[in-house]
Structure 1
Amino acid sequence: MTSAAEPAAKPRGRNPRGQGERLREEIVSAALTLLEELGDDEALSMRAVARATGTAATSVYLHFSDRDALVLAALERCHGDLVRTVDAVGGEAGDPVAGLRARALVLGTWAYEHPGLYKVLHESTLGRRAEMPFKSQVGDRMTAAVRECMRAGLVPEDDAAQVALDLRAAVHGAVSMRLNQPDHAWPPLEEQIERFLVKLVGVPAS
């Protein structure tokens, strides 16, 4: 029972048209910011996301049933942004090999710009208990880029999907080692990626 000095709170009304979706996007943005800072999906709390958006935790749960659902939505958005960036640099390159090189370099440098998100996207426990079908987009595009180089006669004919997988594995390994051992005297990432292209794809050595 409330006193005269403490009137009962009015129930929250229905969001005006469009505001519910806007709040959902704000929640995803807040989750991305926190995941970048934490580098660990299990350290994220729905209450922290609610505080960051200036809303109640119940409002967050109206859009996402649990933390995994929110993290997956956040990762899908950031992965979509990465795919668009990869496509843009690949399309701006002058030839298929230059496009493949640009794509591989973006995959590597993105991790330095977003180390926390990289860890959640590729090294979190969530990936072992939840499917992330959107992650196949980068692999599909890399395979297409390798196949284009082969069709143009710029690299030896081979299984494009396997070659692209080897290239992505090498780039991810190089990035992961740098993030987890930052004090090591690593060679420039661009030079190492160039060696991957020569040895794994068959790009002519410059």
Structure 2
Amino acid sequence: MDQTRRRPNVRGQGDRLRDEIVTAAVRMLDELADDEALSLRAVARAVHIAATSVYLHFPDRDALVLAAMQRCHEDLVRAGDEASAAEKGPGARLRARILAGARWAEEHPGLYKVLHESTVHRRLGMPFKEVMVQRTVDDVRACMDAGVAPADDPTTVAIDLRTAVNGMLSQRINEPDLPWPPAEEQLDRFLTKLVGLPAPRRRRRH
């Protein structure tokens, strides 16, 4: 008998097993950077359970990928919220949120690819991502209300900003050998050109 097989959860601990399955899927997706390469059997092996046990919580691979991506998105939102809360002033808070998202993408490039480029995303969409969109809209609106950015439609500006940031991060992940400028400087240019925030002062390079 396989000594590594996981002991069954006691009655009422189904949510705990579901959490372990999602955790394993997140870890594997970060390594694979491709949802099509993920199999429910492989996830089951990682958790030391029978493949049929995965189906008790997720009807198919797409459902598991969506659950994993929702957890990643919640983690990304939380990182942005914490970074934003540590700053004073709407411009600094917006910048902190954008930079936190960029750091998360650099630390989890595989997950970022799946979150934005996966086949599941194309087939089913990921409606939970609206939370991040709304956070960005609210931050941009706060900048406009405070007069640190010119008045405009905050939703349009926020979508333009997210398009630029997400495109930049995806290209950095997919084409790492290009002569990229520092990410922080590129993001600051987006904030200046698209939102209208003042350009930060930087030391000249020697």
Q: Deviations over 1:27-67 (max 9, x none)?
A: 00000011011011111001100000010000001110000
Confirm whether residue 160 of structure 1 aligns to residue 161 of structure 2: no
Deviation at 1:151, TM superposition (A): 0.6
Give the counterpart letter for 2:43 in structure 1: V
**In 2, Cα distance between the equivalents of 1:16 and 1:205?**
57
CA distance in 2, matches of 1:77, 1:18: 22
Q: In the alignment, which residue of structure 2 is the partner of 1:178?
A: 172
Which AA in structure 1 matches 2:120? L
Letter in 1 for 2:105: A
Provide Cα deviations, 1:76-100, integer angstroms capped at 9, x if missing partner.
0111111111111111111100000
The code of the aligned residue for 2:63 comes to A
Is the 2:29–2:111 Cα contact (8 Å) retained in structure 1? yes
What's the CA shift string for 1:131-173, capped at 9, x where partnerless? 3110111110000000001111111000001111111111111
- Partner amino acid for 1:87? D
Conserved 8 A contact 1:146-1:164: yes
Residue 13 (structure 2) pairs with residue 19 (structure 1)? yes
Q: Which structure's CA Rg is the greater one?
A: 1
Match of 1:91 in 2: 85
1:104 matched to 2:79? The reply is: no
TM-score w.r.t. structure 1 length? 0.91
The structure 2 residue matched to 1:33, chosen from 27, 33, 39, is 27
| Counterpart position of 1:53 | 47
Answer yes or no: is 1:138 the counterpart of 2:160: no
What TM-score, normalized by structure 2, do the two folds share? 0.91
Where 2:56 maps in the other structure, the secondary structure is helix
**Does 2:116 correspond to 1:113?**
no
User: Residues of 2 paired with 1:204 and 1:82: CA distance?
Assistant: 26
What is the aligned residue count? 195
- Cα displacement string for residues 115-139 of structure 1 (whole angstroms, at most 9, x for unaligned residues): 1111111011111111311011111
The superposition leaves residues 101-121 of structure 1 with CA deviations (integer Å, 9 ceiling, x where unpaired) of 011111222111111111111
Partner Cα separation in structure 2 for residue 171 and residue 90 of structure 1: 17
Deviations 1:180-199 (A, max 9, x none): 11111100000011111111
- Structure 1: gaps (5+ residues): 1-5, 7-13
Query: Is 1:201 matched with 2:182?
Result: no
What amino acid is the match of 2:19? E
- Hey, what's the Cα distance between the residues in 1 that align with 2:89 and 2:11? 47
Matching residue within 121, 127, 132 for 2:121: 127
Amino acid of the structure 2 residue aligned with 1:42: E
